[in-house]
Structure 1
Amino acid sequence: MAGLAVAARRKSWAGTAVYGGTAAACGVIALWAAVALAGRSAPVALTLPMGIPWIGAHLRADGLSAFFLLVVGFGGVTASLFGWGYERAHAHGHAAASGPVLPFFPLFLAGMSLVLLADDAFTFLVSWEFMSLASWLLVLSTHRESETPDAARLYLVMASAGTACLLLAFGLLAGGLGDYRFDAIRAHAPQGGAAALTVLLVMLGAGSKAGLVPLHVWLPLAHPAAPSHVSALMSGVMTKVAVYALVRVLFDLLGEPVWWWGGALMAAGSATAVMGVLYALMQDDVKRLLACSTIENIGVIVIALGLALVFKASHTPVIAALALSAALLHVVNHSLFKSLLFYVAGAVLTATGSRDLNRLGGLIHRMPTTAFLALVGAAAISALPPLNGFVGEWLLFQAILNAPALPEWSLKIGIAVVGAAVALAAALAAACFVRFYGIAFLGRPRSAEAERAGEVGSAMRIGMVVPAVLCVVLGVLPTPLIRLFEPAVRAMVDAGPFDDRAYQPWIWLSPTSAIGNSYNGLVLLAVIAALSVVLVLVIHRRASDRVRWSTAWGCGHEEPDPLAVSQYSASSFAQPIRRVFGGTVFAARDRVEMPEPGDTRPARLTVTWTDPAWAFLFTPLRRAVDWLTRQADVLQFLTIRSYLTLMFAALVLVLILVAVVRP
């Protein structure tokens, strides 16, 4: 399919063929994964005559792989459908061309699928690098935009560093036997210091791909640079492949966990969740805001994984299963509502040619379908009931409330702090998406482009409708999905069969470990609908039906539409939160230029802030690398005698190391 795309990229039918074929292939993968999970099928293994000589490439699909294949397959179907409409709209001149996406789009999906199927370290790492390179090329497809080359360069550096960490981690997992098959690693898992170093390396390698703070710096640049349907895959699906890597190594390959593994994950996840949503609140670019929001959601997932590890290490597998279920449920939820919101951003970009919140507004009247679907996505990501985002975070809080079951007081107190961080992140996320929706879709148009916007084509709308419907369905009826990945959860936490009381009738969700708590999405939906009807009736009965017309106060402006310039902007909406958090966390500063009376120059407000990851980590690291490079530059001008001396010294050093570490 990729070869067809290269050969016929400029043909009018190429997009239909590639996106149609990719959607069909992803649909088959998703269907197979769903059937395998529903039927509790035994793992399927395959060895191909390639890879490491005399060993081959090992592929295996178990419950965990099938679950993540379902996420990748479904994401590929909706991205292909939306991407087909997106490319057609751009080809007809409604927006700037998105570049050579077709050859690399199916390769990207194939790379993610191969990572999930790999059953040895070599195949895993090759597939991981293949996925990274394909996504890097997709980011570069918009190379004509000024910010894209720098974003792609940073992404490539971070991806290479992450792969190097994973390479070292698998080297430690294989140990002295040098057997890189996952079965052999499970049988001889490292212990002590080797296991601790493996945990650190996996957190660095997979965390850099997922967007854990402070390894997130590439994500707000690379995800927005790609075309919108590719951004949806990178943000909603590729980050979940990184989550899969964490689960596969920490829960499966490393054997019995130690409690501090989970503590490290919870600390990293808490910082990521809070910082990610604060990053999002500081953004005026729609796609960059959504990319930063992904950082926050990855933090929530990692917190749930950390809780599951802590409870597993404390030999409370049922509560560990509850926490891991929350993580996997949020994996699905985030892939749905984040893909939906990136599709919305693509529709807005197609209709207006702008991603700047301060140039949008009033789109609810010009793009009513897109506006309604954006409202569903914004409510879901804000964890409002009865949508799917609420259920995932509700399950996570059920696990947090079980912290008293742990023996260590430090963990009990620490998990209480983590719960506060999750609550803070959830509140800030709601503020973030009130800002996003209110500025982009409500009010008056802030530019001529927003004034002229119109609804996008049917293919793009269908691509948005499908995940929006599932956001509602999984919020109301989450239990069937949880039952679907139950075998994978049970295998990862070494728990026996779940108590059936945890799921009572299929419309109830009542975790056994959280006594007295239950969730029924249908009842909640019915109550919300009934209260909404009552509220509408009261307003219509009690409110005056007189229509009153008057000129709106425009703060002294005499333009034909004063409300367009006097309404809240994205920056002013975020100013209170920026002043509370940004002054200390981001060193944010507001600089006001107010001319003297009689001066005709406009007043200006300039906001500056700095990402602490750049200030305290990456900028000093870059300076250190530059210094080392300058010092090593002298090696280019040595004599042959000096080169031979250095080679002899290196050989002696290697022999000494071998003699010291050999048992």
Structure 2
Amino acid sequence: MSGLAVQLWCVAALLGLALVAVALSRSPRLATAVIYSATLLCCAVAAGSALTWLLLHADAAAESVLPIGLPWLGAHLRLDALAAFFLVVVNLGGTLASLYALGYGRHEHAPQRVLPFYPAFLAGMNMVVLAADAFSYLLSWEFMSLASWALVMAHHRVAANRRAGYVYLLMASFGTLMLLLAFGLLAGTAGHYDFAAIRIAPHAPWIATLVLLLMLLGAGSKAGLVPLHVWLPQAHPAAPSHVSALMSGVMTKVAIYGFIRVVFDLLGTPDWSTSGVVLAFGGVTAAVGILYALMESDLKRLLAYSTIENIGVVFVALGLALAFQANDEKLPAALAFTAALFHVFNHSLFKSLLFFGAGAVLSATGERDMDRLGGLIHRMPVTSVVFLIGAIAISALPPFNGFVSEWLIFQAVLQSPQLPQWGLKILVPAVGALMALAAALAAACFVKAYGVTFLGRPRGAATGSAHEVDRFSLSAMAILAALCLAAGVLPGFVMDALAPIAADILGGRLPAQTPLAWLSFVPITESRGSYNGLLVALFIAVSASLGFVAIRLVSSGAVRRGPAWGCGFTDPAPLAQYSAAGFAQPIRRVFGTLLFRARDRVTMPPPGDVAPARLRIELHDQVWERIYAPLANGIVGAAVRLNRLQLLTIRGYLSLVFATLVTLLLVLAIWP
């Protein structure tokens, strides 16, 4: 059976599982075990098949046309190297999310609202990647969006979740409209909706530029580019934690796939100026996303905002690839493109791990507010270790995988002086500086997230009864932690697997890395940078071990106990510890005034008043208040005014119809 046939059978099985979940809705425990186990099996088969295709048949492409969809078109499906890679990302995420859900799903309050849509959501993401014509792509995209919206609305009785679902639906509709316009321009007057015809058709420069901008808006709204990100920090925390991991770690990558498929594959060679737009969007998104995350005390919202930062990092790499491709610099273009795909894979791993960890904390304590947690390292030791690994990986610290992909992107930034355009010579270093700022702030953000959540003393009663989660959840998190380490220590194997994609899309590829000695990898030449993850990991392990032994030998061995240092405060209350807001205060004072209109309001009672003093921190979402709130108010105001049309007389209605008819006739008469 061919790889494409295996993928289609897996999609059909996932859709069938959605119907089985409806049939088993009256037996929630049985349905939970059956649906998640079967989904795990389907996704594991699909991931294995896609990985096999990527490693063994990357130079080939399998195509098929199903007799469904538009009558004269059918449903075109295609499996090539790019699609195989993203199918690995989607189905690996689905496999581990299903394993995690076998335990986590037992605590779900309304499983009948989750189980039917969970396999359907995975099927929709697979079909988006396999689609090879505009109609099938848009239909699969909408199916994916609606299934994920239903999962966001699983706990619809919570007012915040209903609002999150409403905002998500609006932004998803906006994104689909942008994609529809983009494919309409690509089809042109000939109406070629299949990707093969679009790929060989000539496109005027202004059409190519407009399509790129529309794809940036359409795919960017689903991925979470600033300022199109407003739905993401609301919808991701509202969904169950294993669904949040899929939405943040996988669905955003499906949006990136759509951008790559259209801009890099279907449009042909871009103009250098369009790369500047992508670079600017990516740089701003990376910096703003991590600043939003630093201001958060809700653990799942913090992780959602950090997704925005990582999406910005990916788009910076894609913008660099566009810039080098426009100037026919094949090797630097392949470097930037490979780095983008590597970071896509890495982010799917460590962000899923972190959301699983947040879900474990939520299951054990019932809390997402970090200021009510603390001390969980003693109650949940395994979760604390794997969450620490995810935090190190997302902070881009060696020897884990996040460091490798971001280091590759910085290597691509360092190739920018050879670009001939002065605009790019200035823009690329500026974006590189934003990325460096975002990387430093990401480390601070996850020091806060881990320290406030797992270290110190319990800040609330909920942590006192916390306990380690089930073995299914721990197994899923342990596998992800191991993959984060493996991809960081052995990155050459991943880069060689990605090389055929760059060769197919850009016409250039990086040199083979696996034949190099000591598992090193050299992106371009040794004089421009090389890295050995295995030696770095061994150096860290040996240094830490020697430090531990030295401390044990030098120390006296006597045990002395005393109260923890409280920075001069003698109050032993747990609330005297650093809070999430207190940790972020220095950064909030530097950046908060500009981005958040941050203000600390202190209420100090007069002498003799026994009322407590209060500190209230005000933060404002400038994007929402300056863009979306006025837009929403304008739409509501226009709707109220247009509501008067319902009260017209018959004479008024006839006049309105006549005026509309005359206007349309004039447009047709004037149209060239």
TM range (shorter): over 0.9
Paired residue type of 2:556: S
Q: Does 1:125 align with 2:138?
A: yes
The structure-2 alpha-carbon separation of the partners of 1:98 and 1:567, relative to structure 1 and needing over 3 Å to count, comes to farther
Q: Does 1:178 align with 2:159?
A: no
Report the equivalent of 2:61. 43
Report the equivalent of 2:50. 33
1:47-82 Cα offsets, whole Å, 9 max, x none, are 111111121111111111110000000000000011
SS in structure 2 of the partner of residue 177 of structure 1: coil
Measured after TM superposition, the shift of residue 641 of structure 1 is: 4.2
SS in structure 2 of the partner of residue 239 of structure 1: helix
Measured after TM superposition, the shift of residue 586 of structure 1 is: 0.7
Measured after TM superposition, the shift of residue 661 of structure 1 is: 4.7
Superposed, 1:408-419 pairs within 5 Å as 408-419=421-432
Measured after TM superposition, the shift of residue 518 of structure 1 is: 0.6
The structure-2 alpha-carbon separation of the partners of 1:652 and 1:50, relative to structure 1 and needing over 3 Å to count, comes to farther
The structure-2 alpha-carbon separation of the partners of 1:498 and 1:296, relative to structure 1 and needing over 3 Å to count, comes to closer
Report the equivalent of 1:404. 417
2:404 to 357, 369, 391: 391
Measured after TM superposition, the shift of residue 449 of structure 1 is: 0.9
SS in structure 1 of the partner of residue 602 of structure 2: strand
SS in structure 1 of the partner of residue 519 of structure 2: coil
Superposed, 1:365-444 pairs within 5 Å as 365-444=378-457
The structure-2 alpha-carbon separation of the partners of 1:555 and 1:383, relative to structure 1 and needing over 3 Å to count, comes to closer
1:565-617 Cα offsets, whole Å, 9 max, x none, are 21111111111111111111110111111223332222211111111111221
SS in structure 2 of the partner of residue 147 of structure 1: helix
Report the equivalent of 2:174. 161
Paired residue type of 2:562: S
Indicate conservation of the 8 Å contact 1:357/1:439, yes or no.
yes
Distance 1:33 1:370 in 2: 30
Measured after TM superposition, the shift of residue 404 of structure 1 is: 1.0
TM value normalised by structure 1: 0.96
Measured after TM superposition, the shift of residue 535 of structure 1 is: 1.3
The structure-2 alpha-carbon separation of the partners of 1:141 and 1:506, relative to structure 1 and needing over 3 Å to count, comes to farther
SS in structure 1 of the partner of residue 341 of structure 2: helix
Superposed, 1:169-208 pairs within 5 Å as 169-208=182-221
Paired residue type of 2:47: A
Aligned length: 654
Indicate conservation of the 8 Å contact 2:518/2:532, yes or no.
no
Indicate conservation of the 8 Å contact 2:492/2:513, yes or no.
no
Superposed, 1:457-536 pairs within 5 Å as 457-495=470-508, 498-500=510-512, 504-505=516-517, 507-512=519-524, 515-536=527-548
1:471-500 Cα offsets, whole Å, 9 max, x none, are 0000000111111121111122122x5434
Report the equivalent of 1:332. 345
* Between 590-599 and 102-111, the greater mean CA deviation after superposition: 590-599
1:95-124 Cα offsets, whole Å, 9 max, x none, are x55662101000000000000000000000
Q: Does 1:249 align with 2:262?
A: yes
Distance 2:525 2:137 in 1: 35
SS in structure 2 of the partner of residue 485 of structure 1: helix
Report the equivalent of 2:559. 547
2:601 to 569, 591, 594: 591
Distance 1:442 1:525 in 2: 25
Report the equivalent of 1:625. 635
* Between 434-443 and 141-150, the greater mean CA deviation after superposition: 141-150
Distance 2:400 2:668 in 1: 58
Paired residue type of 2:402: G
Indicate conservation of the 8 Å contact 2:493/2:514, yes or no.
no
Indicate conservation of the 8 Å contact 1:63/1:487, yes or no.
yes
Paired residue type of 2:57: R
* Between 639-648 and 32-41, the greater mean CA deviation after superposition: 639-648
User: Percentage identity across aligned positions?
Assistant: 54
Distance 1:345 1:98 in 2: 19
Paired residue type of 1:19: Y
Indicate conservation of the 8 Å contact 1:502/1:512, yes or no.
no
SS in structure 2 of the partner of residue 45 of structure 1: strand
2:613 to 593, 596, 603: 603
1:215-264 Cα offsets, whole Å, 9 max, x none, are 10010000000000000000000000000011011101111201122110
Indicate conservation of the 8 Å contact 2:110/2:154, yes or no.
no
TM value normalised by structure 2: 0.94
1:614 to 616, 624, 642: 624
Superposed, 1:344-359 pairs within 5 Å as 344-359=357-372
Distance 1:259 1:143 in 2: 46
Indicate conservation of the 8 Å contact 1:119/1:181, yes or no.
yes
Distance 2:257 2:657 in 1: 42
Paired residue type of 1:516: R
SS in structure 1 of the partner of residue 132 of structure 2: coil
SS in structure 2 of the partner of residue 176 of structure 1: coil
Q: Does 1:21 align with 2:38?
A: yes
Report the equivalent of 2:76. 58
* Between 483-492 and 96-105, the greater mean CA deviation after superposition: 96-105
1:8 to 17, 24, 34: 24
The structure-2 alpha-carbon separation of the partners of 1:304 and 1:555, relative to structure 1 and needing over 3 Å to count, comes to closer
SS in structure 1 of the partner of residue 610 of structure 2: coil
Indicate conservation of the 8 Å contact 1:6/1:103, yes or no.
yes
Distance 1:494 1:557 in 2: 64
Measured after TM superposition, the shift of residue 551 of structure 1 is: 4.0
The structure-2 alpha-carbon separation of the partners of 1:577 and 1:642, relative to structure 1 and needing over 3 Å to count, comes to same
Measured after TM superposition, the shift of residue 627 of structure 1 is: 2.4
Measured after TM superposition, the shift of residue 653 of structure 1 is: 3.8
Q: Does 1:78 align with 2:96?
A: yes
The structure-2 alpha-carbon separation of the partners of 1:647 and 1:583, relative to structure 1 and needing over 3 Å to count, comes to same
SS in structure 1 of the partner of residue 113 of structure 2: coil
Distance 1:312 1:658 in 2: 42
* Between 8-17 and 267-276, the greater mean CA deviation after superposition: 8-17
Paired residue type of 1:347: A
Paired residue type of 2:626: F
* Between 548-557 and 599-608, the greater mean CA deviation after superposition: 548-557
Superposed, 1:143-292 pairs within 5 Å as 143-292=156-305
RMSD, aligned α-carbons: 1.8
The structure-2 alpha-carbon separation of the partners of 1:554 and 1:524, relative to structure 1 and needing over 3 Å to count, comes to closer
Distance 2:662 2:50 in 1: 53
Report the equivalent of 2:324. 311
1:100 to 84, 102, 113: 113
The structure-2 alpha-carbon separation of the partners of 1:188 and 1:365, relative to structure 1 and needing over 3 Å to count, comes to same
Paired residue type of 2:495: I
Indicate conservation of the 8 Å contact 2:242/2:359, yes or no.
yes
Paired residue type of 2:119: P
Distance 1:503 1:640 in 2: 82
Paired residue type of 2:19: G
Indicate conservation of the 8 Å contact 1:33/1:70, yes or no.
yes
Indicate conservation of the 8 Å contact 1:166/1:202, yes or no.
yes
Distance 1:151 1:622 in 2: 15
Structure 2: 5+ residue runs without aligned partners? 1-16
SS in structure 2 of the partner of residue 9 of structure 1: coil
